[in-house]
Amino acid sequence: MTPPFSQLTTSLDDIARQGLYRSRRVIASPQGINLEIDGRHIVNFCSNDYLGLANHPDVVNAFKAGADKYGVGSGSAHLICGHSAAHHVLEEELAAFTGRDRALLFSTGYMANIGVISALLGRGDAVFEDRLNHASLLDGGLLSGARFKRYAHADAVDLGANLDKTLGRKLIVTDGVFSMDGDFAPLDELTVAAKKHDAWLMVDDAHGLGVIGEHGGGILEHYGLGQDGVPVLMGTLGKGLGTFGAFVAGSELLIETLIQKARAYIYTTALPAAVAEATRASLKIVIAENWRRDKLRQLSERFRLGAEQLGITLMPSSSAIQPILIGGSQRAVDISNALLAAGFLVSAIRPPTVPQGSARLRVTFSALHEEQHVDRLLDALAEAIAGSK
Ligand SMILES: *Cc1c(COP(=O)(O)O)cnc(C)c1O
């Protein structure tokens, strides 16, 4: 008899052979632009903590005060006895911040996405997803049991052709800022297509909220869109806001429906109240400190200009996500390792996170980086890319 799981060895070997093996790095320091890894100090260029709030003293202090006041565990799901005053006020503040009737906290963005899509759709309905959508949106669509259609990336014409052929309830779902590419969804065109075909539009603004738009209102502020054009807005709290968790914002009717029907909301423990308190502190900074968004724009522009001068081809992104397309998975890993040896953490993103043959280095900036960090990264990148040919 073969020992249990022995077939799994073959499958792990396959993953390794394709240059797709994943492993964790152990971080010994707080999150920030400087990380300690294996006793070495590394400059971090792959965090989603775009505004540099994950270790901000106000946020940390609010978390401590929240733990003193509420304890650590939330005790149960929101619908039993886990919905604290801290959660409740944060929901009201998020609704005000996004200009929507109501907001509903979820424990993670992944759960918000699977919860929302499967609460709104079922068999007989249809979901339309950009082919580069985040895995949690794709999984939510599949889990819902609705007919699942992918349209070409950022292509409202292809979407429209798909919508033409469909009857029943329709939900269009898109990343706001694409997580692995950094480009924006064409929300102006998608809202028109949604109206024309009587479909709902859901935007996942994990990478736009707090970061994009003059006041940090995200991709919807960028396009000047409200609850009418985009009835379902999902945002995460673990990226621009620097803490943890997620929310969905929209009409009273939407939120009440989610409370009754979203299984990923109902059947899970509420996130700790102290995290909600920390998020309230970080939301205040997001609203008050425009310099963080300005700084991010300046750093991204400096990087793009410098990369062009060095002949490094970037993808068309105007966000804090600036990927460098490499192609082969093993080559992307080799370059990432060379950068780490030079003192820079830039992760190699490989399939199935991105399409086959499009492995890339995903460079992200933080408002806490300085111009000299960007310049040093550019030098190291030029060297690492040349060394891997
Ligand atoms: C990170 C991310 C999520 C998941 O959010 P978590 O809170 O980390 O679970 C969902 N959608 C997009 C586009 C993301 O980038």
108 lines ligand 1 (CB under 6 A): yes
238 lines ligand 1 (CB under 6 A): yes
pLDDT of res. 323:
96
What whole-number distance in Å separates Cα of residue 177 and Cα of residue 300?
15
- State yes or no: pLDDT of 289 exceeds 80: yes
Q: Report the nearest atom of ligand 1 relative to the CA of 238.
A: 7
Active-site annotation holder among 87, 149, 207, 295: 207
- Comparing CA positions, the residue from 16, 20, 33, 133 lying closest to residue 368 is 33
Active-site annotation holder among 47, 74, 136, 179: 179
CA of 387 to the centre of ligand 1 (A): 34
106 lines ligand 1 (CB under 6 A): no
Asked if 29 and 134 sit in the same domain, the reply is no
Any domain includes 11 = no
- State yes or no: pLDDT of 236 exceeds 80: yes
Asked if 265 and 333 sit in the same domain, the reply is no
Asked if 198 and 313 sit in the same domain, the reply is no
47 lines ligand 1 (CB under 6 A): no
Asked if 283 and 299 sit in the same domain, the reply is no
pLDDT of res. 138:
98
Asked if 89 and 135 sit in the same domain, the reply is yes
Binding residues for pyridoxal 5'-phosphate: 109-110, 179, 207, 236
Q: Tell me, letter by letter, the H, E, C secondary structure of the chain.
A: CCCCCHHHHHHHHHHHHCCCCCCCCCECCCCCCEEEECCEEEEECCCCCCCCCCCCHHHHHHHHHHHHHHCCCCCCCHHHHHCCHHHHHHHHHHHHHHCCCEEEEECCHHHHHHHHHHHHCCCCCEEEEECCCCHHHHHHHHHHCCEEEEECCCCHHHHHHHHHCCCCCEEEEEECECCCCCCECCHHHHHHHHHHCCCEEEEECCCCCCCCCCCCCCHHHHHCCCCCCCCEEEEECCCCCCCCCEEEEECHHHHHHHHHHCHHHHCCCCCCHHHHHHHHHHHHHHHHCHHHHHHHHHHHHHHHHHHHHCCCCCCCCCCCEEEEEEECHHHHHHHHHHHHHCCEECEEECCCCCCCCCEEEEEECCCCCCHHHHHHHHHHHHHHHHHCC
Asked if 299 and 284 sit in the same domain, the reply is no
pLDDT of res. 191:
98
pLDDT of res. 238:
98
Domain boundary among 288, 320, 351: 288
- State yes or no: pLDDT of 367 exceeds 90: yes
Instruction: Answer with the residue of higher pLDDT: 204 or 318.
Output: 204
Residue 251 belongs to domain spanning = 57-288
When pLDDT is cut at 50, 70 and 90, the band that residue 1 belongs to is low
Any domain includes 5 = no
Any domain includes 381 = yes
Any domain includes 8 = no
Domain boundary among 236, 269, 288: 288
Asked whether 158 and 186 are in contact (CB, 8 A), the reply is: no
Active-site annotation holder among 149, 222, 239, 295: 239
Residue 252: CATH number of its domain: 3.40.640.10
Structure tokens at 121: 């759709």
Asked if 144 and 224 sit in the same domain, the reply is yes
Any domain includes 1 = no
Provide mean pLDDT across the span 13-27: 92
CA of 110 to the centre of ligand 1 (A): 6
- State yes or no: pLDDT of 389 exceeds 90: no
For the chain, the average pLDDT equals 96
Provide mean pLDDT across the span 359-386: 97
CA of 13 to the centre of ligand 1 (A): 29
Across 244-267, b (16+ Cβ under 10 Å) vs e yields: bbbbbbbeeebbeebeeebebbbe
- State yes or no: pLDDT of 168 exceeds 90: no
Asked if 225 and 323 sit in the same domain, the reply is no
CA 375 to chain centre: 26
Q: Looking at ligand 1, which residue's alpha carbon is closest to its atom 6?
A: 109
pLDDT of res. 85:
98
Weakest mean pLDDT among 6-10, 143-147, 156-160, 361-365 = 6-10
Any domain includes 3 = no
When pLDDT is cut at 50, 70 and 90, the band that residue 80 belongs to is very high
Any domain includes 2 = no
pLDDT of res. 5:
86
Provide mean pLDDT across the span 255-283: 98
Side chain identity at residue 174, one-letter code: T
Structure tokens at 167: 């009857």
Any domain includes 272 = yes
What whole-number distance in Å separates Cα of residue 319 and Cα of residue 152?
21
Structure tokens at 280: 């309230």
Count of structural domains, the chain: 2
- State yes or no: pLDDT of 252 exceeds 90: yes
* pLDDT digit string, tens, across residues 302-349: 999 999 999 998 999 989 999 999 999 999 999 999 999 999 999 999
Asked if 99 and 181 sit in the same domain, the reply is yes
Asked if 86 and 225 sit in the same domain, the reply is yes
Residue 380: CATH number of its domain: 3.90.1150.10
* pLDDT digit string, tens, across residues 47-75: 999 999 999 999 999 999 999 999 999 99
What whole-number distance in Å separates Cα of residue 133 and Cα of residue 153?
9
Q: What pTM was computed for the model?
A: 0.96
Q: Is 319 a catalytic residue?
A: no
Asked if 218 and 354 sit in the same domain, the reply is no
Q: Is 170 a catalytic residue?
A: no
Domain boundary among 227, 253, 288: 288
Q: Is 207 a catalytic residue?
A: yes
Provide mean pLDDT across the span 205-225: 97
Asked if 359 and 236 sit in the same domain, the reply is no
246 lines ligand 1 (CB under 6 A): yes
